[in-house]
Amino acid sequence: MEATISAARGSANVREKRVRRFKALLFAVCLLPIVREAWLVVSGAEVNPIEFVIRSTGLWALVWLWAALFISPLKKLTGWGSLLRFRRELGLFSFFYACLHLVCYLWLDKFFDWADVFKDVIGRPFITIGTVAVVLMLPLAVTSTDGWVRRLKRNWSRLHWLVYPAAVLSVWHYFLEVKRDTTQPWIYAVVLGLLLGWRVYERGIRPWLARRMSPVR
Ligand code: HEM
Q: How many angstroms separate the alpha carbon of residue 57 from the centre of ligand 1?
A: 8
**Per-residue pLDDT tens digits for 86-109:** 999 999 999 999 999 999 999 999
Q: Among 28-32, 49-53, 145-149, 210-214, where is mean pLDDT lowest?
A: 210-214
Distance CA 107, CA 91 (A): 24
Count the domains in the chain: 1
What's the count of helices (H) and strands (E) in the chain, helices before strands?
10, 0
The CB of 116 under 6 Å from ligand 1? The reply is no
Count of all residues that appear for the chain in the document: 217
Domain annotation covers residue 115: yes
Q: Please indicate, yes or no, if residue 28 is contained in any of the structural domains.
A: no
Mean pLDDT of 175-201: 95
pLDDT digits (tens, 9 = 90+) for 109-136: 999 999 999 999 999 999 999 999 999 9
Give the Cα separation of 217 and 214 in Å (integer). Answer: 7
Separation of CA 130 and ligand 1 centre (Å):
7
Confidence check: pLDDT of 2 > 80: no
Structural domain including 74 reads: 50-213
Per-residue pLDDT, 20: 94
Q: Which residues contact 148 (CB under 8 A, 6 or more apart)?
A: 142, 156
The proportion of the chain whose per-residue pLDDT surpasses 70, expressed as a percent, equals 99
39 lies in some domain? no
Task: Confirm whether 34 is domain-assigned.
Answer: no
Q: Is the CB of 61 under 6 A from ligand 1?
A: yes
Residue 130 beta carbon below 6 angstroms from any ligand 1 atom: yes
Q: Residue 149: inside a domain, yes or no?
A: yes
Query: Is residue 147, in this structure, part of any structural domain at all?
Result: yes
Mean pLDDT for the stretch of residues 176-202: 94
Q: Mean pLDDT over residues 20-36, rounded?
A: 97
Using the atom order of ligand 1, give the atom closest to the CA of residue 54: 13
Output the CA 205–ligand 1 centroid distance in Å.
34
Contact 52, 109 (CB under 8 A): no
Confidence check: pLDDT of 57 > 90: yes
Can you tell me which atom of ligand 1 is nearest the CA of 97? 30
Residue nearest to atom 14 of ligand 1 (CA): 51
In-domain check, residue 207: yes
